[in-house]
Amino acid sequence: MTSFSFDLLHEDGRARRGRLHTRRGVVETPVFMPVGTQATVKAMYPETLKEIGAQIILANTYHLLLRPGHERVRALGGLHRFMNWDRPILTDSGGFQVFSLGELRKIDEQGVRFQSHLDGAAHVLTPESSIAIQEALGSDIIMAFDECIPYPATREYVAESTARSSRWAARCRQARQPEDGAALFGIVQGGMHRDLRAQSVADLLAIGFEGYAVGGLSVGESAELMYEVMDWTMPLLPRDCPRYVMGVGTPENLVEGVRRGVDMFDCVMPTRNARNGVLFTSFGKISIKQARFLDDESPIDPDCDCYVCRHYSRAYLRHLYQSNEILSSMLNTHHNLHYYQQLMARMRDAIESGTFETFRAEFLAARRIDP
Ligand SMILES: CNc1nc2c(CCNCC3CCCC3)c3nc(N)[nH]c(=O)c3cc2[nH]1
Ligand SMILES: [Zn+2]
């Protein structure tokens, strides 16, 4: 059983070009991971995900625990077989979704008690059960069970919650089955406090993980504050381990995160925005429902070489969206995910050739909206 490892191949300033070796294949970093909440990246065939360059996707403990149930997925051969995706899958541990989706919930030392947002049934997630669920799903990268601290929060709450997440992290390490080749990542908390972030990193390093995520960001804080927390936290993490910032972000966030030494990202933005008709381009976002696209025969982005931009006009995509056609979500998602993957591929190349700062300057200069 090949175990998990990370190669640091190039550095350009604090930007890093690396390679993850997982039990289900290699992942070139920096990488953007499309979100597949309910065992599907919405509106995308797995074959199309591969065509646009997706190397690894996310799934979620919270959703799959509730439906169809992790034991059912295990009995059906695991998540990869279930959804016909033979590349790596990273699973989040469920805590974040309990807070952002679940109804009534109660958090204590044991874990989180909550009611299903589907049928109100009572459930409990603990560090031990979250790990067991992710193992049952067949996850290749398992996330520690943590509390994503809301923002804003009192310093006292941040300190207490972060200390509890550190205790939970130790329980996750203990709960992991030995050597099944899947990796376990710790998640740094600490809110927006430099000393509490440093304490959280120290706690996790003492336990030891194959990779380290920075949690508690993209929770309503400004981009500047998010970057400041990255500036404090990245240098404290081991240089030879992958760093993953959870729930981030816009194309600009990805460029600024890579510049600060982040290797892995996930965000629902490209897929969710696509279904709402918001499309990403090299010159900024456009909302395809606008009347100005009624007779516009040009592609979404003249600089994009994706299947959608090669075959369909803005006028047609606007028509599909206005008509609430299923193909609208399919084509918009295909283009947005292709844009995100291309952005990451360009950053990987730029770091390799030592031209990341030039890439960043050109990326920022192009951000305007066409008249
Ligand atoms: C959007 N902002 C944000 N997301 C965060 C997430 C979720 C990341 N995305 C998970 C996918 C979405 C559904 C299926 C899996 C966070 N997750 C954890 N465990 N901890 C965080 O601090 C944490 C923090 C986060 N901030
Ligand atoms: Zn395109």
Binding site listing for Zn(2+):
304, 306, 309, 335
Question: What pLDDT does residue 270 have?
Answer: 98
Question: What is the CA(303)–ligand 2 centre distance, in A?
Answer: 8
The closest residue, in CA terms, to atom 4 on ligand 1 is 247
Task: Give the mean model confidence (pLDDT) for residues 197-214.
Answer: 98
Over pLDDT 70: what percentage of the chain? 98
Q: What is the mean pLDDT of the chain?
A: 96
Confidence of residue 1 (pLDDT cuts 50, 70, 90): low
**pLDDT tens figures, 51-81:** 999 999 999 999 999 999 999 999 999 999 9
Ligand 1 neighbours, Cβ below 6 Å, are 35, 37, 58, 60, 92-93, 95-96, 143, 146, 148, 187, 215-219, 246-247, 266, 268
| Residue-level pLDDT at 95 | 86
| Residue with CA at minimum distance from ligand 1 atom 21 | 215
User: Is the per-residue pLDDT at 371 higher than 50?
Assistant: no
Domain(s) labelled CATH 3.20.20.105 in the chain stretch across 5-267
The rounded Å distance from CA 54 to ligand 2 centre is 15
Supply the residues annotated as catalytic.
92, 266
In this prediction, residue 98 has a pLDDT band, given cuts at 50, 70 and 90, of: confident
Q: Is it the case that residue 370 has pLDDT exceeding 90?
A: no
The three state secondary structure string of the chain is CCCCEEEEEEEECCEEEEEEEECCEEEEECEEECECCCCCCCCCCHHHHHHCCCCCEEEEHHHHHHCCCHHHHHHCCCHHHHHCCCCCEEEECCHHHHHHCCCCEEECCCCEEEECCCCCCEEEECHHHHHHHHHHHCCCEEECCCCCCCCCCCHHHHHHHHHHHHHHHHHHHHHCCCCCCCEEEEEECCCCCHHHHHHHHHHHHHHCCCEEEECCCCCCCCHHHHHHHHHHHHHHCCCCCCEEECCECCHHHHHHHHHCCCCEEECCHHHHHHHCCEEEECCEEEECCCHHHCCCCCCCCCCCCCHHHHHCCHHHHHHHHHCCCHHHHHHHHHHHHHHHHHHHHHHHHHHHCCCHHHHHHHHHHCCCCCC
- What is the pLDDT, as a whole number, of residue 2? 64
pTM over 0.95: yes
329 C-alpha to ligand 2 centroid (Å): 14
* Predicted interface score ipTM higher than 0.90: yes
**Residues 140-155: pLDDT tens digits?**
999 999 999 999 999 9
| Fold of the domain built from segment(s) 5-267 | TIM Barrel (3.20.20)
